[in-house]
Amino acid sequence: DQQVKQNSPSLSVQEGRISILNCDYTNSMFDYFLWYKKYPAEGPTFLISISSIKDKNEDGRFTVFLNKSAKHLSLHIVPSQPGDSAVYFCAASERNNDMRFGAGTRLTVKP
Amino acid sequence: ETGVTQTPRHLVMGMTNKKSLKCEQHLGHNAMYWYKQSAKKPLELMFVYSLEERVENNSVPSRFSPECPNSSHLFLHLHTLQPEDSALYLCASSEGQVGSSEKLFFGSGTQLSVL
């Protein structure tokens, strides 16, 4: 039962443009959402999060949007840089339950 | 040394071998986790320890055996594995207790190949 889905396994964008990574979830009880970034040969590192009481959280070039009615989460990166090339994992958690992860989207930012 | 460190980084083992993965966190966190990442699949939670007590075992086969001797160390003992167990095994920690909706801090993982 995959409760968190990232339907795009890969995304390629030009440097300077916007990258939009999408995530859908099925469990309406999720109340905390996170994005992790993973470089090859490294573990995932936390990027940005959002609580279910908000619909937007911004941190520099990274913005996460939450649409609870659609059960949809997105990460916007603008402007995209070659160093942003990595695998991005969406994750969600419900209080007193473990965190669920998507399968990841590989972002490639071309110079 | 800071963060979450895992050893070894790579491991190749036969199906009859016994090996152990080690994880150490230097963050003073209360919870530690083992995750499995197979190619193109979501991270799967295997085991959770909170304050050194196991709180969750997600129906993991008994050929995987965790050990948490203290709040800073976590082991995953492996024996008679199958080729389908080949994957990246990630250790993580979190500051609060399990279920507190906090971010996880991951180690770099052990890439395991079972021949």
Which of A94 and B78 is assigned the larger pLDDT? B78
Asked if A2 contacts A98 with a C-beta cutoff of 8 angstroms, the reply is no
Q: Which B residues 37-96 touch A at CB under 8 Å?
A: 40-43, 45, 48, 56, 58, 90, 92
Assess whether pLDDT exceeds 80 at residue B96: no
Question: Which range among A90-99, B11-20, B72-81, B93-102 shows the weakest confidence by mean pLDDT?
Answer: B93-102
Query: What pLDDT is recorded for position B99?
Result: 59
Contacts of B105 in chain A (CB under 8 A): 46
For the record, the structure tokens of A31 come out as 């109340």
Assess whether pLDDT exceeds 80 at residue B108: yes
Residue in chain B nearest A40 by alpha carbon: B108
Query: What pLDDT is recorded for position B1?
Result: 52
Residue in chain B nearest A93 by alpha carbon: B101
Query: What pLDDT is recorded for position B50?
Result: 86
Please give, rounded to a whole number of angstroms, the shortest distance from the CA of B15 to a CA of chain A: 24
Over range A59-66, report the average pLDDT. 98
Over range A62-75, report the average pLDDT. 97
Say how many CA atoms lie within 13 Å of B27 toward its Cβ: 20
Please give, rounded to a whole number of angstroms, the shortest distance from the CA of A109 to a CA of chain B: 20
Please give, rounded to a whole number of angstroms, the shortest distance from the CA of A39 to a CA of chain B: 10
Over range A39-50, report the average pLDDT. 92
C-beta atoms of B104 and A100 within 8 A: no
Q: A9 preceded by cis ω (within 30°)?
A: no
For the record, the structure tokens of A99 come out as 């965190």
Report which residue type is found at A14. Answer: Q
Query: What pLDDT is recorded for position B102?
Result: 77
Residue A68's pLDDT band (boundaries 50, 70, 90)? very high
Interface test with B, best of A5, A23, A101, A105 (most B CBs within 10 A): A101
C-beta atoms of A46 and B104 within 8 A: yes
Residue B81's pLDDT band (boundaries 50, 70, 90)? very high
Interface test with A, best of B7, B91, B101, B106 (most A CBs within 10 A): B101
Which residue shows structure tokens 């007193």?
A: A96
Q: Round to whole Å and give the CA distance between A108 and B82.
A: 34
